[in-house]
Amino acid sequence: MAEDLDLRLLRHFVAVAEELHFSRAAERLFVAQQAVSRDVRKLEDRAGTTLFDRTSRRVALTPAGRRLLGRARQILSLHDETLRELRGEGRSLLVDVVGQRLTPALVLAAARARADGHEFFARFHGGLDASLPLLAGHRLDVTFGRWHGITGEPPHGLEHHLIRYERISVLVPERHPLAEETEVPLAALRETDACWHCGDHVSAQWEQVMEQLFTDTGMPPAPPRPNVRGVDELAYHIQQWDLPILTISSQPDVPGAVVRPLVQPVAMYPWSMIWRKDLRHPGLAALREAADDLGTAGNWRDLPDGAWLPSPEAGLPRARSRR
């Protein structure tokens, strides 16, 4: 009689199949690499076939491994969903919304309004470098960020969809001379030591955009500052420093400061929604529909005429410009 397939072995197999790298799979699973290698060999022994072609330079799925991957994902998903139902946990969805009241949080709020009976939990991981390993490891379901700013190769098995080009703006202390302006030209920040390191939206992907923007326009880079998060902390430090902070248009109100759109250039930050390809949940459909509806109502995927985008997004096919 054939032995049953162990769920742990399947989880370790899926991790290696998605990463195509034993060390990265072990990091994702929080176990030793030797344990992952041992479990993959044990699964191959039980299945009676080789699942991976291994060389000193690469790991690749065999035809049998590719067939098993889809089934293994289904088995694990059904197992996990069954446990949640037995425990009375319902069909909750874990969503990284980056920061309170930012664009991803607006999408989540709209999805909650349309997905009655399905529970969402918000998380705040502050960037794709932190959230993507959790997503690939099934410890997070959906995240948001700048897909084309990911450092290195993204985990396998993910889908992404552009939801918004968001206007880059400037958070200005109320007493600062620039607070009198309705718009702030980037050149006006040249002598202000403007900061781009503060706010809940800040991530490695955001800092890449800021570095490109300042380089493209011949501006000196912003001096390094601690990453301040949360409205209360921003309110305190913006008064202490008395300097403008680069932000995005969905920046929540900060006491003692005003938000002004950046011009010359009109710079845009690309947001994408990212999820696992194997995710089957009505909450995912609600999130996608909410993003599409908000995008249509607010022209989120349109670009102002002459808008600045970072690379590589500037060279990709994109939505129409508008005047």
What are the pLDDT tens digits along the chain (323 aa)? 356 788 999 999 988 988 888 888 888 788 889 999 999 999 999 999 999 998 878 889 999 999 998 888 888 878 877 776 676 555 688 999 998 899 999 999 999 988 767 789 998 877 898 899 888 888 899 999 999 998 888 888 899 999 999 999 999 999 999 999 999 999 999 888 888 999 999 999 999 999 999 999 998 887 788 888 888 888 888 888 888 999 999 999 999 999 999 999 999 999 999 999 888 788 888 999 999 999 999 999 999 999 999 999 998 876 444 54
259 Cβ partners below 8 Å, 6+ apart?
169, 170, 171, 172, 247, 249, 251, 253
Quote the CA–CA distance of 131 and 139 in Å, as a whole number: 9
Q: 158-173 and 245-248: which strand pairing?
A: antiparallel
What confidence score (pLDDT) does residue 320 get?
Answer: 47
> Which two structure tokens, joined as six digits, stand for 18?
């998605």
CATH class entry, domain 166-268? alpha beta
Q: Which residue, among 193, 237, 241, 242, has the nearest Cα to 214 in the 3D structure?
A: 193
Quote the CA–CA distance of 240 and 217 in Å, as a whole number: 28
Quote the CA–CA distance of 104 and 213 in Å, as a whole number: 23
Quote the CA–CA distance of 171 and 181 in Å, as a whole number: 12
- Helix then strand then coil, % of the chain, to nearest 5: 40, 20, 40
Count of alpha carbons within 13 angstroms of residue 65, beta-carbon side: 22
Q: Which residue, among 22, 14, 33, has the nearest Cα to 56 in the 3D structure?
A: 22
Count of beta carbons in the 10 Å neighbourhood of residue 87? 8
Q: How far is CA 114 from CA 99, 110, 119, 290, in A?
A: 21, 7, 11, 8
CATH class entry, domain 7-86? mainly alpha
Q: Which residue, among 306, 190, 187, 178, has the nearest Cα to 242 in the 3D structure?
A: 178
Count of alpha carbons within 13 angstroms of residue 252, beta-carbon side: 19
CATH class entry, domain 93-164+270-302? alpha beta
Contact 98, 200 (CB under 8 A): yes
What confidence score (pLDDT) does residue 191 get?
Answer: 81
161 Cβ partners below 8 Å, 6+ apart?
272, 273, 288, 291
Rg (CA), the chain: 23
Q: Do domains 93-164+270-302 and 166-268 have the same CATH topology?
A: yes
Can you tell me whether residue 270 is helix, strand or coil? strand
What confidence score (pLDDT) does residue 317 get?
Answer: 76
Per-domain residue ranges for the chain? 7-86, 93-164+270-302, 166-268
Q: Where are the alpha helices (DSSP H) in the chain?
A: 7-19, 22-29, 33-47, 63-86, 103-114, 128-136, 204-216, 231-241, 282-298
What confidence score (pLDDT) does residue 323 get?
Answer: 42
Give the chain's length.
Answer: 323
1 Cβ partners below 8 Å, 6+ apart?
none
